[in-house]
Chain A
């Protein structure tokens, strides 16, 4: 059972998904160990809710991808422990929302599924399968632009795509993550959504989302294959991507399916370092 959480819903009262978000928040707070944060009151008077947020883990319930509740959490500098987006949940469970502001059969069915999912997730042990023990001996080149320092590992086993993601290939596995360019642009990373273990990923497919107060980016996989492990520590400490996006901040481990073909659209250190420098200089101009 989900317990000891502060619940921050989007509360978009003029939208079906917002009404669902508020309803789930209310239901979760029937458990006395959970506390509701009213997003409207939080904007004008935050002392009470800052205290609640500091004493509990935070569950954010966004109604739609506009992510009003997530943005509010970012503005208030809150660390998000769990997050759901109602419209995404509806898509995933193939439930069509009626658009009504009164909860109908479909909306109630979705609420039940989400409530069950949240409560079960709390009971489920963390799933980490077949993670390889990787020792890093990365040799970095650095580039400074103003106060920002960008590091890029030079090792030949590391490949990059032009979407600023890296793959460290060892045998038939690759660890993947984002480069310093992404983490510097995002600034303080507040939330990480990992891919599912077992997901089959195409080259340039999305393997998780990274979110800061500035933006949300999807990690675009340099390689194709099956997700065999994710960096569970990032769920609790997404800021590790800021601290070191290449080692402790790795995102997922992929069992490669066709690396020879993937390589055709990847670049090595030399080309990526030059590309990144151009991007950094371009983003200043």
Chain B
């Protein structure tokens, strides 16, 4: 399930998604098993075996996958900057 807007702002205008640090990731794939929103995709036969396939499915402000990541390989944007940006976009759209 993915929402197309968050707080009235189109989801694809909000930069909120996990970033994989491939120097830490050990491809345990716990994140893919955990995330019900299909944000990640496994590519078993490729050198990079895990990618962020659907960034806009990621629930804004959710960081649950990073909490269950053993090697601490997942990071997210700054929450306060994202909050401010959402407020700015709302203001811009209200004034348009």
Contacts and interface: CB of A to CB of B under 8 A. Distances in A.
B70 A66 contact: yes
Given A65-B72, A265-B86, A279-B1, A163 B62 contact: yes
B56 to A, nearest CB: 14
Contacts of A204: 61, 79, 83
Interface in B25-46: 28, 30, 34, 36
Given A162-B3, A202-B79, A204-B79, A65 B70 contact: yes
A203 B28 contact: no
A265 B83 contact: yes
Interface in A111-132: none
Contacts of B87: 264-265
Contact-residue size bin, chain B (C-beta under 8 Å from the other chain): 20 to 34
B73 to A, nearest CB: 10
Interface in B62-96: 62-64, 67-72, 79-80, 83, 86-87, 90
Nearest to A63: B70
B62 A215 contact: no
A95 interface: no
A275 B5 CA distance: 11
Contact of A65 (B59, B62, B67, B80): B67
Contact of A66 (B61, B68, B90): B68
Contacts of A52: none
A18 B60 CA distance: 32
A64 interface: yes
Nearest to B6: A162
A216 interface: yes
Contact-residue size bin, chain A (C-beta under 8 Å from the other chain): 20 to 34
A218 interface: yes
Contacts of A162: 3, 6-7, 60
Contacts of A206: 63
Nearest to B83: A204
A218 B69 contact: no
A206 to B, nearest CB: 8
Given A204-B79, A215-B34, A209 B3 contact: no
A87 B72 contact: yes
Interface string B1-23: 11100110000000000000000
A236 to B, nearest CB: 23
A53 B54 CA distance: 42
B80 A202 contact: yes
Contacts of B67: 65, 209, 216, 218
Contacts of B71: 64
B4 to A, nearest CB: 10
Contacts of B64: 215-218
Given A162-B60, A203-B83, A265-B87, 9 more contacts: A65-B72, A163-B59, A204-B79, A206-B63, A215-B34, A216-B67, A217-B64, A264-B87, A265-B86
Interface of B: 1-3, 6-7, 28, 30, 34, 36, 59-64, 67-72, 79-80, 83, 86-87, 90
13 contacts: A64-B71, A66-B28, A66-B30, A162-B60, A163-B62, A204-B83, A206-B63, A215-B34, A216-B68, A218-B62, A264-B87, A265-B7, A278-B3
